[in-house]
Structures are given as structure tokens and as C-alpha cells.
């Protein structure tokens, strides 16, 4: 479970889905507003100050994508929560 939800694996999965525009329909029907993307980016920046180096590296890689309209913020949050769960066992 840890390998499936490692930050490296999560980033690779997200990048694949962004490249094929997997969430195109969802983004057209219910686009994420700029203010929510901005709040998410600010929240991610607050998580950079952490003892978990892998999390910090993941956040640095993810930040440039936050304002891309292909990106679903909720998906990033869910996968980060899965990572927390996988490493809490």
C-alpha cells in the first residue's frame, strides 16, 4: 500500500491523468474557481515546513500545476490523504 500511495507514485499517476485531460468533463461542468486554487496553493505552502522531506518535495513539484485548469484540487487532496493513511499503518 505504501508503494501505491508514495508521493512519487501519486505524482506519476496525476501527471498521466493531467496529460490525457482525464477530468476534462468535470472541469468544464464544475470548474475550480481561482480563489480556491489560490487558497489551496497557500495551504500547500504552509505544509512545506514539515519534518517529512518527501511531502515537501511532492508539494514543490505539485505547486506549478495548481493553477492549471486540467487539475482537480480535490484529487490532490484525496491522494495526499491516502498517503497519510498508508504511512500511518
1 with 89: CB under 8 angstroms?
A: yes
* Residue partners of 40: CB distance under 8 A and separation at least 6: 66, 73, 76, 77
Residue with cell 514543490: 60
Say if 1 falls within a structural domain: no
Q: Is 22 helix (H, G, I), strand (E, B) or coil?
A: coil
The count of structural domains within the chain is: 1
Residue 17 to residue 80: CA distance in whole angstroms = 16
pLDDT tens per residue across all 89 residues of the chain: 999 999 999 999 999 999 999 999 988 888 889 999 999 999 999 999 888 999 999 999 999 999 998 899 999 999 999 999 999 98
Q: Give which of 87, 85, 83 is closest to 11, Cα–Cα.
A: 83
pTM: 0.85
Full residue range of the structural domain in which residue 18 is found: 7-88
Question: Residue 68 falls within a domain, yes or no?
Answer: yes
Amino acid at each position: 500500500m505504501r508503494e501505491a500511495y508514495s508521493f512519487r507514485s501519486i505524482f506519476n499517476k496525476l501527471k498521466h491523468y493531467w496529460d490525457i485531460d482525464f477530468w476534462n468533463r468535470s472541469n468544464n461542468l464544475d470548474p475550480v474557481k481561482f480563489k480556491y486554487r489560490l487558497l489551496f496553493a497557500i495551504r500547500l505552502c504552509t505544509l512545506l515546513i514539515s519534518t517529512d522531506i518527501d511531502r515537501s518535495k511532492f508539494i514543490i513539484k505539485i505547486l506549478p500545476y495548481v493553477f492549471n485548469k486540467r487539475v482537480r484540487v480535490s484529487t490532490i487532496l484525496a491522494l495526499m490523504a491516502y498517503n497519510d493513511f498508508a504511512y500511518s499503518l
